[in-house]
């Protein structure tokens, strides 16, 4: 397993649409393990393959509490089949958009069809944090980010701020 670099805005790859996985083999299993290791290392609760620069429809999630047992979930080619009319609002962050949190309203419940790590088709109905996290990650597979929920002006400001952060070298006093 290895920890991969997470790409951040304004990297254009984040806007691209990921391609479906045709067959789940050793490479896909290795990628899933790397995604988990990268996600845990960054203290994230979800990570899509595109966030490490790989445009394939694979994502991993673990919404368990830090002191609880790990509950790793991986999804290949996930498709949202149904959503509730009820909505919930979370303040969402994203490993690809440092230091930014945005309140986003999404359907409270979603039903997803996906392929698991053994290549089997599965269905999952989820609620609460898992539902929101899954919708956030599936958005990544379609090139959509949380800042796309904002006006263009606000979005540009955030990207400008992050680009500036990246250019500034570390300040040291010696």
Write out the residues near Zn ion by the rule CB under 5 A: 94
CB of 140 to Zn ion, least distance (A): 6
137 a catalytic residue: yes
Structure tokens at 127: 């609620």
Rank residues 24 and 92 by Cβ distance to Zn ion and give the closer one.
92
Rank residues 119 and 128 by Cβ distance to Zn ion and give the closer one.
128
Rank residues 94 and 112 by Cβ distance to Zn ion and give the closer one.
94
CB of 118 to Zn ion, least distance (A): 26
Rank residues 24 and 47 by Cβ distance to Zn ion and give the closer one.
47
- The residues annotated with a catalytic role in the active site are 137
């Amino acid at each position: 397993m290895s920890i991969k670099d997470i790409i951040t805005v304004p990297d254009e790859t984040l806007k691209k649409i990921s391609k479906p996985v045709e067959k789940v083999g050793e490479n896909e299993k290795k990628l899933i393990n790397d995604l988990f290791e990268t996600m845990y290392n960054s203290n994230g609760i979800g990570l899509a393959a595109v966030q490490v620069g790989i445009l394939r429809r694979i994502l991993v999630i673990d919404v368990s509490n830090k002191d609880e047992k790990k509950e790793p979930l991986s999804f290949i080619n996930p498709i949202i089949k149904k959503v509730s009319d009820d909505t919930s609002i979370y303040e969402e962050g994203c490993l690809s958009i440092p230091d930014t949190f945005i309140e986003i309203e999404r359907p409270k419940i979603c039903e997803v069809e996906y392929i698991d790590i053994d290549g089997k088709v599965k269905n999952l109905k989820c609620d609460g944090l898992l539902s929101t996290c899954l919708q956030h990650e599936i958005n990544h597979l379609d090139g959509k980010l949380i800042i796309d929920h904002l006006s263009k002006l606000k979005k540009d400001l955030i990207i400008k701020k992050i680009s500036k952060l990246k250019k500034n070298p570390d300040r040291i006093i010696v």
